[in-house]
A and B are shown apart, each in its own frame.
Chain A
Amino acid sequence: MPPRLFIIKIHIMLKIIESIFHNLSVWGLPVLMIIVGIIEFSFGLYEKKWNRNELILDITCFVIPRIILQPLTVYFTLKLLPVILPGLKGTFSWVPFWWAFFIIAVADDLTQYWYHRLHHQVPFLWRFHRTHHSAPYMGMSMASRQNVIYTIFFSQIYLTAALVYLGLGYAALFVTGIKSLITLAAHSSIPWDKPFYKYKVLHPIAWVLERLISTPATHHAHHADSFDDGVGNYKGNFGNMFFIWDVIFKTGIITRKYPQSFGLKHYKQEEWYAQFAWPLFKSRKEGSELAADGPMVGDELQVNRSKSTGEESYETLQKAELA
């Protein structure tokens, strides 16, 4: 093949990839979620746990943040950033693509790791994140399930918007696309990572994969309702796109197994509106964390275990590595 033709073909391929990521960011991801969600539902993967209250909550969390958050980030980027960082628009547009990619990937995902971890480890913050953990099932239906306050203050969105404003926008398109695909796949009830653990020839890939990114095995463990099976780790495995943060900070466990049950042991099926907009709306369920006089953290075990999470998780991680 003549070199010129080869270059043209590469150029066309890059344009197609760019177009895929652009469409993913505009409409592709929600459509993908709906399609995978329908597949999960038709295969009975929600195991009849998707009652009316859960259904309304999941749909509200899927629709409303998309309506609120998009104008909010646009306002932040177009109106606030020129005031906060005057004259700096596009200042770093000279940064080569792969370096920009690397900078945004670390900045965005490490910030989300901290935002997520602090909502688990600081008792005051737990109730803003609880909604994401109350679902007794895994899948596309609960991937967007968050309290609206948690969503609005999603810190890495504003950090990435600032980096886009400074000139790293092109790389951000690919990072956010890849990140969304990885996090959605990690929440999916389809265990796509299973073949990597089953076939010995794929074990080296599995070893790298499970330490680098979130997989259904590691992320499902984060959504488990118990530590007792040695698989669940709801006070750890905080990584979103990258799992490497959990490895570095010793907050993760890798077992290559999937927990048997998900959610919260102390879940009281709180009203969807209380879960969506606490503390604006409170639950009427007695003893609920979301009730007006409810406890900050309902699960005492959760609190007691939090202080030893680091060391304990790392020990288990080492055991898993030896196994």
Chain B
Amino acid sequence: MHLQKEAKQKIIRDIIVSLFLYTLPVILMFLSFYITGKKPWLNQQKKNAATVVHH
């Protein structure tokens, strides 16, 4: 018993759409950083650097 050809095609098509959906929140997040000019990853780098100096 195998998967019907049409069902298989629909699954592949939907998986491709899903790949876009997975990346959508990340794309929107970086778009919001671009618009607002925020760079929160720099705070993390500063924190890490401070930790290294402290040690």
Chain A positions within 8 Å of B, measured between CB atoms, are: 93-96, 99, 102-103, 106-107, 110, 114, 117-118, 121-123, 248-249, 295-297, 303, 306-310
Contact = CB atoms under 8 A, between A and B. Distances in A.
Given A121-B3, A306-B7, A94 B14 contact: no
B4 A306 contact: yes
Contact of B43 (A94, A296, A307): A94
B1 A249 contact: no
Contacts of B18: 110, 114
Contact of A94 (B1, B24, B44): B44
Contacts of B2: 123
Chain B CB within 10 Å — which of A99, A117, A296 has the most? Answer: A99
Contacts of B25: 99, 102-103, 106
Interface of B: 1-4, 6-7, 10-11, 14-15, 17-18, 21-22, 24-26, 28-29, 32, 40-41, 43-44
Q: Is the interface of B mostly helix, strand, loop or mixed?
A: helix
B3 A106 contact: no
Nearest to B5: A307
Contact of A307 (B4, B26, B32): B4
Nearest to A308: B6
Contact of B22 (A94, A110, A118, A307): A110
Given A95-B40, A248-B17, A123 B1 contact: yes
Given A106-B22, A110-B22, A123-B3, A310 B10 contact: yes
A99 B29 contact: yes
Nearest to A104: B25
A96 B22 contact: no
A249 B40 contact: no
A106 B21 contact: yes
Contact of A95 (B15, B22, B28, B29): B29
B3 to A, nearest CB: 6
